[in-house]
């Protein structure tokens, strides 16, 4: 596809959690926990606008009396509960954010203000999210060209939704307040591949700074538009490989919607804005769906003139225009789905049923009918939403916020948000950025070069190590255990751990102190490098045991030099004839015999040394 021709414009918004000691506005740790120490129930109200008025829609929402329950624990305090003013922002978080800005070639503001962004869905007990605009006007280089970075904001992550309990929404406060950088690119990206490259490059740069790693710590939103299409915001693409697909599929969706629009125009199609009660038609229908709904509900219908065949038209793999209708009905009215004539007969609804329906509504074969079977009020609300969406199909692509599905397709989430209501956080004084001293971190390629130079790693291993979760630990270990080759440390961290994970070992049990004790044992000769894998497996199985216990259990207890000498001597004595026969050439053979007995218990180098010496003594 020629993406230039269709005028593809893509912008990314990347959210990355920072790995700080404390949260952005309090002194709680940034660790998630499932623990619940107690719950607090709250309500949120829309506040007065500049004109002293409350938004009517917000007032309506408020009158519904939605209540929120907040679970607190050791990762949250009075600040998260909105019972104590925010503390001064974490200096560590500010520094990391400024380092990221530096690597993204951004300019920083002179004086930064903490702002409150109003959010009353309950994800913030205060009713707002605190955010700081720190840097602007940067860029990253990708294989496909330069992409401008428009802004970098440092903000607090929201609370984690746990469940809905009737009309109450339950949130855990552990995640609230974890520092997050929000990086927004300009819409400079013009192909799916470039979108992926840009996200990858920004991701690599982020990993040069102190950021959190693992599931849920980085989230990508993608803004996509094509010529004649519309800006669509796609939320929550967490995997890199999905980005390309999401962009491809969204382009496909917009192109197909435009084709459908042209076809509808040509046909002179029309949306009839009336909801019909067709319950009687389905009184004796054998469809399970209909039967279940009719217990306390109705079957309602709308007519889409000249939509026949197009409602069932595929616009993304496995998704039709009808799916778009269904999405709206589900989100807005909470129904389980819709039924349209393009897919019938199906669900136990027969050709005969359809025929009677068409006769009753006096519509032709080239018209489409959409049905909803549910409680009357819900069914009406659902069909009203379908009417709105069908009318948009006549215009083209609706602007909206969508969420990414696992296969790269997307589904409707909500309308595009309006302009955020923001006002200053009066509890925190402005921040003078020049007073914060920050060191520039290395760029990925600089770090790779240094790893090759300083630690003599191969190109491949250096690249792996630089982006590894263990990169900082690697450097720490190299510094501490100078007599161990960095390559061995890197391979242990990057390869051995992955190897045993593949075998099904739970490597999450392996903590920093385990690795320290492992390399300590190697360094002092207590453990031979051949035993590394077994020790790691041991720690996975028994994380509470110390290294000596593991060596004992695994039978890896390294032998002392004297003990090794004794065993070597025994082997020499058993094979004395061979030595006499083969002279120097016997070394290789005997080494094999020795190692068969000593593998994992003694270092091969030491065995070799002892063996050589003893043979020399004999000859």
Partner 1 sequence: MEIGDVVRIETDKGVFEGLLLPSIDENVITLKLKNGYNIGILKENIKNVRVIKKGEKPKYELPPLNIEKKHKKTVSILSTGGTVASKVDYSTGAVHPSFTADDLIRAVPEIADIANIEGRAILNILSENMKPKYWIKIAEEIKKEAKRADGIVITHGTDTMNYTAAALSFMVNADFPIILTGAQRSSDRPSSDAYLNLLSSVIAAKENIKGVFVVMHETSDDKYCLLHRGVKVRKCHSSRRDAFLSINSLPIAKIDPFSKNIIYLQEVERSEGSKKVEINTKLEEKVALIKVYPGMDGEIIRYYVDKGYKGIVLEGTGLGHAPEYVFDDIKYAIDNDVVVIMTTQTINGRVNMNVYSNGRKLLNLGVIGCEDMLPEVAYVKLMYLLANYSLEDVKKLINKNMVGEINYRSDFKAYGGNYGL
Chain contacts with partner 1 (rule: CB under 8 A): 40-54, 59, 65, 67, 78, 81-85, 107, 109-113, 115, 117-118, 120, 125-128, 131, 133, 136-137, 151, 153, 419-424, 426, 429-430, 432, 434
Tell me whether residue 86 or residue 531 sits nearer to partner 1 (CB atom): 86
Please tell me the distance from the alpha carbon of residue 240 to that of residue 220, in angstroms, as a whole number. 9
Smallest gap from residue 98 Cβ to partner 1 (A): 14
DSSP code per residue over 329-349: HHHHH--S--EEGGG-SBTTB
Tell me whether residue 153 or residue 559 sits nearer to partner 1 (CB atom): 153
Residue 32 near residue 174, CB atoms below 8 Å? yes
| Extended beta strands in 238-386, E state | 270-271, 276-277, 298-305, 314-316, 319-320, 339-340, 368-374
Contact partners, residue 129, CB within 8 Å, separation at least 6 = 116, 117, 119, 123, 155, 156, 158
Please tell me the distance from the alpha carbon of residue 83 to that of residue 80, in angstroms, as a whole number. 8
Smallest gap from residue 292 Cβ to partner 1 (A): 35
Tell me whether residue 155 or residue 367 sits nearer to partner 1 (CB atom): 155
Tell me whether residue 85 or residue 555 sits nearer to partner 1 (CB atom): 85
Please tell me the distance from the alpha carbon of residue 234 to that of residue 201, in angstroms, as a whole number. 20
Tell me whether residue 65 or residue 588 sits nearer to partner 1 (CB atom): 65
Residue 362, judged by CB atoms within 10 A of its CB (0-12, 13-18, 19+), counts as exposed
Tell me whether residue 53 or residue 472 sits nearer to partner 1 (CB atom): 53
Q: In b/e form, how buried is each residue of 189-217, taking b as 16+ CB within 10 angstroms? A: bbbbbbbbbbbebbbbbbbbbbbbbeeeb
Tell me whether residue 151 or residue 287 sits nearer to partner 1 (CB atom): 151
Smallest gap from residue 49 Cβ to partner 1 (A): 7
Please tell me the distance from the alpha carbon of residue 616 to that of residue 51, in angstroms, as a whole number. 98
Smallest gap from residue 414 Cβ to partner 1 (A): 19
Smallest gap from residue 131 Cβ to partner 1 (A): 8
Q: Which candidate, 467, 473, 555, places its Cα nearest to that of 511?
A: 473
Q: Which candidate, 371, 186, 402, 355, places its Cα nearest to that of 293?
A: 371
Smallest gap from residue 43 Cβ to partner 1 (A): 5
**What angle (nearest 5°) sits at the alpha carbon of residue 465, between those of residues 460 and 471?**
170
Smallest gap from residue 401 Cβ to partner 1 (A): 18
Q: Which candidate, 50, 40, 43, 130, places its Cα nearest to that of 85?
A: 130
Q: In b/e form, how buried is each residue of 119-143, taking b as 16+ CB within 10 angstroms? A: bbebbbbbbbbbbbbbbbebbbebe
φ and ψ at residue 546, rounded to 5 degrees: -90, 175
Tell me whether residue 133 or residue 516 sits nearer to partner 1 (CB atom): 133
Smallest gap from residue 52 Cβ to partner 1 (A): 5
SS3 label, residue 237: strand
Tell me whether residue 59 or residue 395 sits nearer to partner 1 (CB atom): 59
Smallest gap from residue 149 Cβ to partner 1 (A): 13
Displacement of CA 354 from its chain's centroid (Å):
45
Tell me whether residue 46 or residue 393 sits nearer to partner 1 (CB atom): 46
Smallest gap from residue 193 Cβ to partner 1 (A): 29
Displacement of CA 373 from its chain's centroid (Å):
36
Smallest gap from residue 439 Cβ to partner 1 (A): 20
Please tell me the distance from the alpha carbon of residue 430 to that of residue 173, in angstroms, as a whole number. 26
Q: Which candidate, 188, 129, 123, 128, places its Cα nearest to that of 153?
A: 129
Tell me whether residue 111 or residue 596 sits nearer to partner 1 (CB atom): 111
Residue 136 near residue 150, CB atoms below 8 Å? yes
Smallest gap from residue 47 Cβ to partner 1 (A): 6
Tell me whether residue 20 or residue 129 sits nearer to partner 1 (CB atom): 129
Please tell me the distance from the alpha carbon of residue 188 to that of residue 147, in angstroms, as a whole number. 6
The two three-digit tokens of residue 353, written as one number: 């049923």
Tell me whether residue 87 or residue 313 sits nearer to partner 1 (CB atom): 87
Tell me whether residue 110 or residue 266 sits nearer to partner 1 (CB atom): 110
DSSP state of 537: H
Tell me whether residue 88 or residue 420 sits nearer to partner 1 (CB atom): 420
Smallest gap from residue 44 Cβ to partner 1 (A): 4
Tell me whether residue 72 or residue 412 sits nearer to partner 1 (CB atom): 72
Smallest gap from residue 477 Cβ to partner 1 (A): 41
Q: Which candidate, 425, 398, 423, places its Cα nearest to that of 412?
A: 398
Smallest gap from residue 354 Cβ to partner 1 (A): 50
Smallest gap from residue 529 Cβ to partner 1 (A): 53
Strand partners, 140: 147
Give 3-state DSSP helix, strand, coil % of the chain, rounded to 5.
40, 20, 35
The two three-digit tokens of residue 42, written as one number: 């709250």
Residue 289 near residue 373, CB atoms below 8 Å? yes
């Amino acid at each position: 596809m020629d993406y230039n021709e269709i005028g593809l414009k893509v912008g990314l918004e990347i959210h990355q959690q920072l790995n700080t000691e404390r949260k952005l506005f309090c002194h709680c740790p940034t660790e998630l926990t499932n623990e619940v120490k107690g719950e607090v129930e709250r309500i949120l109200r829309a506040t007065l606008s500049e004109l002293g008025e409350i938004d009517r829609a917000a007032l309506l929402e408020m009158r519904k009396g939605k209540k929120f329950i907040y679970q607190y624990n050791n990762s949250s305090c009075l600040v998260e509960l909105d019972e104590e003013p925010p503390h001064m922002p974490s200096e560590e978080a500010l520094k990391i954010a400024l380092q990221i800005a530096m690597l993204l070639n951004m300019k920083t503001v002179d004086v930064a203000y903490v702002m409150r962004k109003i959010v009353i869905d309950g994800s913030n007990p205060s009713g707002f999210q605190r955010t700081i605009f720190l840097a602007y006007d940067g860029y990253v280089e990708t294989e496909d060209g330069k992409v401008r970075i428009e802004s970098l904001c440092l903000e607090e992550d929201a609370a984690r939704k746990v469940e809905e309990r009737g009309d109450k929404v339950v949130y855990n406060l552990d995640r609230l307040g974890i520092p997050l950088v929000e990086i927004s690119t300009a819409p400079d990206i013009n192909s799916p591949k470039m979108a992926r490259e840009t996200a990858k490059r920004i991701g690599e740069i982020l990993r040069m700074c102190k950021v959190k790693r693992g599931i849920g710590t980085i989230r990508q939103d993608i803004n996509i538009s094509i010529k004649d299409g519309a800006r669509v915001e796609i939320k929550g693409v967490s995997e890199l490989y999905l980005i390309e697909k999401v962009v491809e599929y969204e382009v496909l969706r917009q192109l197909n919607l435009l084709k459908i629009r042209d076809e509808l125009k040509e046909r002179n199609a029309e949306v009839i804005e009336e909801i019909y009660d067709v319950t009687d038609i389905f009184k004796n229908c054998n469809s399970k769906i209909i039967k279940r709904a009719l217990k306390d509900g109705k079957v309602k219908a709308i007519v889409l003139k000249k939509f026949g065949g197009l409602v069932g038209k595929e616009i993304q793999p496995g998704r039709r225009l009808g799916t778009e209708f269904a999405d709206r009905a589900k989100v807005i009215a909470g129904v389980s789905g819709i039924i349209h004539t393009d897919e019938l007969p199906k669900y136990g609804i027969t050709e005969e049923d359809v025929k009677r329906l068409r006769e009753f509504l006096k519509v032709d074969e080239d018209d489409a009918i959409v049905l909803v079977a549910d409680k009357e009020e819900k069914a009406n609300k659902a069909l009203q939403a379908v009417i709105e969406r069908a009318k948009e199909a006549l215009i083209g692509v609706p602007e909206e916020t969508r969420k990414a599905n696992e296969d790269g397709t997307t589904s409707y989430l909500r309308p595009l948000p309006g302009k955020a209501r923001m006002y200053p956080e009066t509890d925190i004084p402005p921040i003078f950025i020049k007073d914060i001293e920050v060191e520039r971190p290395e760029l990925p390629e600089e770090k790779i070069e240094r790893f090759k130079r300083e630690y003599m790693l191969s190109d491949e291993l250096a690249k792996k190590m630089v982006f590894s979760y263990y990169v900082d630990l690697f450097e720490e270990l190299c510094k501490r255990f100078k007599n161990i080759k960095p390559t061995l440390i890197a391979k242990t961290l990057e390869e051995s751990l992955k190897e045993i994970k593949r075998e099904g070992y739970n490597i999450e049990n392996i903590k920093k102190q385990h690795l320290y004790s492992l390399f300590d044992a190697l360094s002092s000769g207590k453990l031979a490098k051949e035993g590394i894998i077994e020790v790691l497996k041991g720690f996975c199985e028994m994380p509470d045991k110390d290294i000596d216990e593991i060596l004992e259990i695994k039978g890896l207890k390294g032998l002392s030099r004297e003990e090794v000498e004794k065993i070597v001597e025994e082997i020499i004595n058993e094979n004395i004839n061979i030595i006499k026969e083969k002279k120097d050439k016997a070394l290789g053979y005997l080494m094999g015999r020795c190692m068969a007995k000593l593998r994992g218990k003694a270092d091969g180098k030491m065995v070799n040394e002892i063996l050589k010496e003893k043979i020399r003594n004999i000859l």
